[in-house]
Amino acid sequence: MRPMSPLVTESLERHFTVHRGDKVEDKERFLDEVGPKIRGMAVSHVHVNDALLDRLPKLEIVANFGVGYDTIDAAACGRRGVIVTNTPDVLTDEVADLAVGLLLATVRQIPQVDRYLRQGKWLEKPYPLTGTLRGRKVGILGLGRIGRAIAHRLVAFGLPIAYHGRTKQADVPYEYFPSLLEMAKACDVLMVVAPGGPETKNIVGREVLEALGPQGVLVNVARGTLVDEDALAAALADGTIQSAGLDVFAEEPKVPDALIAQEHAVLLPHVGSASVHTRNAMGQLVVDNLTSWFQGNGPVTPVAETPWKA
């Protein structure tokens, strides 16, 4: 329904009859004509809900390009017996690498320092001293695959790690906080790596930001909807927290002007997994899920809500 990488489209066209919704102007007519024939979907940032599912009565599987699948109503798919898959693991290291890079860029003001040099200001005087990672404690919101990979990297920096999630995990050595607010009070870096969706919308709001304090740093590589962007812009403007590094936004590709205006915010256009290597691996996993399913071998990486029993 939207453009996907050549690796995905070309591979699928070798195995299946592919109907390209991204190539047509009249999507409604397209769905009227081919919807009743569709048995599988390869999607990226496509809203799959009851309204769309009603148009696809023979649908068996939705293969999502990405580990996050909050645009897909997996529960609605499950009620209809439709498999949903995503692309976990293959992007874990790439996103974790970028998250740590974003933290460093934010605390040490790397983009700002680069601009300072390019503008010739170093000729006039040295750049002001920046913040540091030394003496900081990092709280991770969402200790899943990516959260664990981030924690592993930050331990090598000598930083103490805490985490908040639905349940305490027995196989990790990090301090657990059952309350996000209490974790924010105990930390001065908050890494957001939790899933998006209605349950986590604006979970990082004014109260959590105030708990981080004036030395606080927020890094979000999950979904923009987890952070109250108005509250964040205000917190940056009035010094409630020190800085923020964001790779995701609530209404991408739109970024609030109030965030763009903050000099000490480092803003990236959702590039966490955007390397050739990783995007190819993600695309291949989309193809593998569809080919495996239609060969009768089941899905490769079904999501938790999907009605599949190996």
Give the active site residues. 223, 252, 270
List strand residue ranges (DSSP E) for the chain, in order. Answer: 40-43, 61-64, 83-85, 138-141, 161-164, 175-176, 189-192, 217-220, 243-246, 265-267
Structure tokens at 173: 């050595």
Among 291, 140, 281, 131, CA closest to 222: 140
What DSSP character marks residue 219? E
Can you tell me the distance from the alpha carbon of 84 to that of 60, in angstroms, rounded to the nearest whole number? 9
Dump strand ranges (E) for 70-119: 83-85
Three-state SS at 126 = coil
CA 296 from centroid of its chain's CA atoms:
31
- 141, burial (CB in 10 Å: exposed 0-12, middle 13-18, buried 19+): buried
